[in-house]
Structure 1
Amino acid sequence: MKLLRWCKANAMPVIAVLAAAVTAVFVPPDAAYLGYYDVKTLSCLLCVLAVVGALRRVGLFPLLAQRLVQVFHTTRGAVTALVGITLVGSMLLTNDTALLTFLPLNWFVLERTGQTKWTALTFILQNCAANLGGMLTPFGNPQNLYLFNHYNIPNGEFLSIMLPPFLLSTALILLCCLFLPREGLTALRQETLPDKRRTAVYGVLFCVAVAMVLRGIPYWLGLLVIVMALLVLDRRALLGVDWGLLVTFAAFFTFSGNMARIEPVRELFRKLLTHGAMPVAALTSQVISNVPAAILLSRFTDDYRGLLVGVNIGGAGDAGGVTGQPDHFPGIHKARQGADGAVHGAVLRHQLRFSRRPVGSHDTLDAVK
């Protein structure tokens, strides 16, 4: 029973490892396996997750978010602020970290101000904001980081590719916030201040991590600096890294590398991708989630523009569309016992609608009706 519970709690890495093992039957391990793994992507992802974890542990993000929320005095203003914080946070902290940081704050704010009836809608908007907002930067989500490094996409070109769908998604999300009432809110209590010196050091380390991603410094140098610094300052931040996500990446590198060496599979994807990378990437993301989709399809196409957009908008449709997204629901459950099922179902329905909007649908306001 314990093993079953552990497998259920770590479903994505378990599935990834099993998938890699199955393909290894058809393509036995050999020297070519060493060429599967993108060490730079794994190093950058480890550093970003570790530094952001350290910043979360000093209590910086809840304090910044709560200070911003205190500026607003209505339900609409507070929820818009929460959604906006999640949107911006996903661009800088990765989408998973933004959700894990700001979803509990959402419940805290709405519960303390007597506005819990808007919790489900706010969860929906925050999920959409995190999953669609993170598309703008290479480090906003794991699939962007991988594709950015795999195709060696220039910084300016990456921004030009993702800016149009990002702006459209942001406009739709903020437009949905207008459906909330302008009811007055009571003031929130003040959070304790984080350690300024430690926060400043972590801020510098975050800049180092960003420089790694944007190719400003060699990735091995950034990895060395960040790991050594956190071993001294906060070892728990390293231990608390989502190692399951890193295992998932490594396993899907093996899976996709092997799949690309199986001739019938290679021919199938070549035929599918003749219709364009974006729709295939979006649909594949719905089935196996966006990180595996990005890794798999990158073996068969050079159309990184369509692939980037497809895996980002495809991840908004269901809980399996984003690697690790199901893990957010236990956090919601802790915040609000008994409401998890309703919130879960609502998130799935409305994210599916949002996933269609960036590709041209006109009935945008239907996402919140």
Structure 2
Amino acid sequence: MAASNNSTAHPWLNRLKHEWLLLLFTALTVVLACIDPQPWARYKGWLQLPTLCGLLGLMISIQGIRDSGLVQRMARMLVARMHSLRGVGLLLVSMTAVLSMVLTNDVSLFLMVPLTVAIGGMSNLPILRMAVLEALAVNAGSTLSPIGNPQNLLIWQHAQMPFLQFVGSLLPAAAVMFVMVAVLTWFWLPKDRVELQADKLDGHPVSVSLALLSLVSLAMMVMMMEHGHAPLGALLLVIPFALFSWRTLTYIDWLLMATFATIFLGLGHFAALPVVEHALDKIDFTQPLALYLSGIIGSQLISNVPATVLLLDRAQNSVALAVAVNVGGFGVVIGSLANLIALRLAKQPHGMRLFHEVSVPFLLVCAVAVYLVMRLAA
């Protein structure tokens, strides 16, 4: 009885036992703070508060859309018109990639993964496989657009390159990535027809007021993020949801927010270590292969956005750097933080293991293919 009471009294502690990524980066952050203490201002910079606020705003909006029943209604409409699992998979992957070009990779996942989970809940669509494929798809799709992901935005602004020139330069790499994702989707998903589970198709009414509030909130949050006002946008979202749909706020994945905060702090501090700076000084970034491998390996170690910041002033070829860090988004889960978002939204057991079983080999093949295509296109 005592053990049972203890379990119910500390649900957060029970959840933390499974949050190995959060625990790992919390430990890294603490260790680095002890061996290399820095002024508080540097920690504030590494924390990337605008990014965290933007993530919170998106999570609130999408949770509201989920709670309204709109996602379930859209899922029913979509799955009723599709006949094969491969057809559904290719449609979802294509939609995810296209949305990532205009709404950024994170926003695309926040829209598409809940839709995928809803479809999987009423049919035989494998949810976890689709979540992994959609994580790969946003990386491929967002590669093409200067505003598709944070690393592209940084490089585009730094290089002061025309929008269409950037798109044209990244087109060969993005095309290779997307074709590989599409081929993987076709062969990895079963050949089976879509089988509807009739008992899960009914009985989910749509709350029009909550759906409208959530859709308007999502549009406003994206606009606020684009104009650099993410903290204000998140605050403006919390107030109406607290007044009219407070339950939505209780369903937010606050441990995911904490995980991102510790990742930003730990990796930001690691990238700023003098030993890392000295190691980079020894690399000849004028060599295309050296820059390409540095971008990919750096992304695997510290994620592709910090790797971009680290290499931005050292790389003379901005397009080559963009290709490298976008390819580096594949592989390990922290290669792109969009990978972690996809897995957390899907909420499927053994997600991290399956992701790495697919994404690491995908990176190895994709890295070679993209490099050869970019050399031919040069």
**SS of the counterpart of 2:277?**
helix
Instruction: Report the CA distance shift for 1:259/1:319 in structure 2 as closer, same or farther (over 3 A).
Output: closer
Question: Which of 212, 215, 225 pairs up with 1:213?
Answer: 225
Instruction: Report the CA distance shift for 1:256/1:319 in structure 2 as closer, same or farther (over 3 A).
Output: closer
Question: Which of 329, 333, 343 pairs up with 1:315?
Answer: 329
Instruction: Report the CA distance shift for 1:316/1:50 in structure 2 as closer, same or farther (over 3 A).
Output: same
Instruction: Report the CA distance shift for 1:31/1:84 in structure 2 as closer, same or farther (over 3 A).
Output: closer
Question: Which of 284, 287, 293 pairs up with 2:298?
Answer: 284
1:101 and 2:114 are equivalent in the alignment: yes
Deviation at 1:284, TM superposition (A): 3.2
Kept in 1, the 8 Å contact 2:75–2:119? The answer is no
TM-score (norm 1): 0.71
- Provide Cα deviations, 1:49-93, integer angstroms capped at 9, x if missing partner: 221222122232233233122212234323333434554566655
Cα distance between partner residues in 1 of 2:296 and 2:243: 42
1:46 and 2:56 are equivalent in the alignment: yes
Deviation at 1:209, TM superposition (A): 1.1
Describe how 1:254-293 pairs up with structure 2 within 5 A: 254-259=265-270, 262-272=273-283, 274=285, 276-288=290-302, 290=303, 293=304
Kept in 2, the 8 Å contact 1:256–1:295? The answer is yes
**SS of the counterpart of 1:211?**
helix
Partner of 1:331: 347
Deviation at 1:132, TM superposition (A): 3.7
- Provide Cα deviations, 1:221-269, integer angstroms capped at 9, x if missing partner: 4233222222223334334434334334443444455445543321113
Partner of 2:375: none
Cα distance between partner residues in 2 of 1:46 and 1:30: 26
1:174 and 2:182 are equivalent in the alignment: yes
Kept in 1, the 8 Å contact 2:70–2:206? The answer is yes
1:222 and 2:233 are equivalent in the alignment: yes
Deviation at 1:5, TM superposition (A): 5.4
Cα distance between partner residues in 1 of 2:230 and 2:346: 34
Q: CA RMSD in A?
A: 4.2
Partner of 2:70: 60
Kept in 1, the 8 Å contact 2:96–2:109? The answer is no
Cα distance between partner residues in 2 of 1:62 and 1:120: 18
Kept in 2, the 8 Å contact 1:165–1:309? The answer is yes
Unmatched tracts of structure 1, length 5 or more: 334-339, 363-369
Cα distance between partner residues in 2 of 1:218 and 1:329: 25
Counterpart of 1:226, as a letter, is L
TM-score (norm 2): 0.70
Counterpart of 1:22, as a letter, is V
- Provide Cα deviations, 1:183-205, integer angstroms capped at 9, x if missing partner: 55455644534222321221111
Counterpart of 2:75, as a letter, is A
Describe how 1:91-240 pairs up with structure 2 within 5 A: 92=103, 94=107, 97=110, 100-105=113-118, 107-108=120-121, 110-111=123-124, 125-133=133-141, 135=143, 144-145=149-150, 148=153, 156=163, 160=167, 164-179=172-187, 184-185=193-194, 189=198, 190=201, 192-215=204-227, 218-240=229-251
Deviation at 1:206, TM superposition (A): 0.9
- Provide Cα deviations, 1:139-188, integer angstroms capped at 9, x if missing partner: 86xxx347747985689479727655444333333344444676554556
Question: Which of 8, 14, 20 pairs up with 2:29?
Answer: 20
Cα distance between partner residues in 2 of 1:98 and 1:148: 21
Cα distance between partner residues in 2 of 1:306 and 1:235: 46
Report % sequence identity: 21
Greater Cα shift, 306-315 or 193-202: 306-315
Counterpart of 1:81, as a letter, is L
Partner of 1:366: none
Question: How many residues were matched structurally?
Answer: 342
